[in-house]
A and B are shown apart, each in its own frame.
Chain A
Amino acid sequence: AQRVTQPEKLLSVFKGAPVELKCNYSYSGSPELFWYVQYSRQRLQLLLRHISRESIKGFTADLNKGETSFHLKKPFAQEEDSAMYYCALGGYGGATNKLIFGTGTLLAVQP
């Protein structure tokens, strides 16, 4: 069965430190992986998707099919990066575009 695992509920770092939010998935086909973010009092929104291979707000994520991982990274954390981050798996099941979300990691960037 398809599954997304985010092992850390909370990640606390200091401003300027590197950040890595872990995400592992379980899926036998060709996955589509996404990172969604929810800032305080804001809506859940797409941060980036692996197919785009782009960097958003300094964040990058590389799909590693061998390790079934899609970790989110940023070299220097900023206080405004503090938010809830969800990894999501999609891209399967015929006509459906449904996403399977992980349980999320709360990133807290300390000044």
Chain B
Amino acid sequence: EAGVAQSPRYKIIEKRQSVAFWCNPISGHATLYWYQQILGQGPKLLIQFQNNGVVDDSQLPKDRFSAERLKGVDSTLKIQPAKLEDSAVYLCASSLDWVQETQYFGPGTRLLVL
């Protein structure tokens, strides 16, 4: 089966600019996750969707980050405006459902904010 797809793979922007990342989960997976991984740290969950509804966004900096999954399939994560500390790898993952299901990760988008 095809894995989780993400684009772009790399992005360089200046602070205060905006950026958007796209994720297409594995077909049939109801649950989608966005993680932020800062260099030297483990991934940190930003937001979890179940179909097109938000289950958990407690660690999403809502003043600058937004995410949507309008049709319950692919998803977009946006940062506006970006700060230097947003430099990280943004990982998308999906699972069949939310109950103890294995999460499958995409290749990630590496963001550098200058």
Contacts and interface: CB of A to CB of B under 8 A. Distances in A.
Assign chain A's interface to a size class: 20 to 34
A68 interface: no
A86 B4 CA distance: 20
Contacts of A46: 102-103
B110 to A, nearest CB: 13
Interface in A43-72: 43-46, 49, 51
A101 B56 contact: no
A71 B102 CA distance: 20
Given A95-B50, A96-B56, A104-B42, A43 B3 contact: yes
Contacts of B48: 96-98
B98 interface: yes
Assign chain B's interface to a size class: 20 to 34
A103 to B, nearest CB: 5
A79 interface: no
Contacts of A93: 56
A95 to B, nearest CB: 5
A61 to B, nearest CB: 16
A101 B95 contact: no
B105 A44 contact: yes
Interface in B41-63: 41-45, 48, 50, 55-56
A32 B100 contact: yes
Interface string B73-114: 000000000000000000100010011111111111000000
A108 interface: no
Interface in A8-31: none
Contacts of A95: 50, 55, 98
